[in-house]
Amino acid sequence: MNPEITQLPNGQWVITHDTHLSKWAVEHGSIITDPSLFRFLKPFMGDVEVVWDIGANIGDHTRQYLDWGKTVVAVEPNPLAYQCLVHNCPEATALNVAASDIAGDTLGFMCLDNVGASRINSEGDITVLTVRLDGLGLAVPQFVKLDVEGWEFFALKGMENTLRQYRPMVFCEINDGALAANAVTPAQLIHLIKRHLGMCNMHFYPPDAKLGDPQFDILFVPQ
């Protein structure tokens, strides 16, 4: 096996040098390491059939959605994380690309020891291919999870038709520092989502998070 990948006793693959998610997976014995997060999400998932997991990493969210019986499209540009994702979640439709507002571009991608914090960056050590998710003919989602380390605005611009026409729930990371690196503010990102989804309720995770915090997630549920 590739020495950069470690196999857990349950057969799942993690990234050997990863300082965060894969390390936690080793400690938990599973890539699903945040049960409180999934307890938060589960009440909203009853009628969901298709999930788009954008920024899937090694498949922690994808695996949980699959175990809940959902059809999952998982998007992950990091080649090493993608190897783990495909092994951990063979039932998913996995794409080794970066979701963006322009199709067919190549962008720098910076691989970090905290693999989940790896991101699109012009000084990155590898390049990744971009796609517009609207143009791929994918199964229509009722739920979109989006965690792409500051590239969320551009990934959403590439799926505006899907948001506007089908109005899926969107569970999006808000990372002030990562967004600022791409000249985007949390307010701009939230406005983009609400502009396409229309009236929606916002549920914060963690539940005590608030606008202005440096990092948190928001679940947008269209009314």
Q: pLDDT tens digits, residue range 64-76?
A: 999 999 999 999 9
Q: What is the DSSP string of 141-178?
A: PSEEEE--TT-HHHHHHTTHHHHHHH--EEEEEEEHHH
Does domain 34-222 bear CATH number 3.40.50.150? yes
Q: pLDDT tens digits, residue range 156-206?
A: 999 999 999 999 999 999 999 999 999 999 999 999 999 999 999 999 999
Q: pLDDT tens digits, residue range 28-86?
A: 999 999 999 999 999 999 999 999 999 999 999 999 999 999 999 999 999 999 999 99
Residue 177 structure tokens: 């520092």
pTM to 2 decimal places: 0.97
Q: Which amino acid is at 216?
A: F
Domain boundaries, the chain: 34-222
Residue 119 structure tokens: 């991101």
Tell me the C-alpha distance between 58 and 26, whole Å.
13
Residue 204 structure tokens: 């914060």
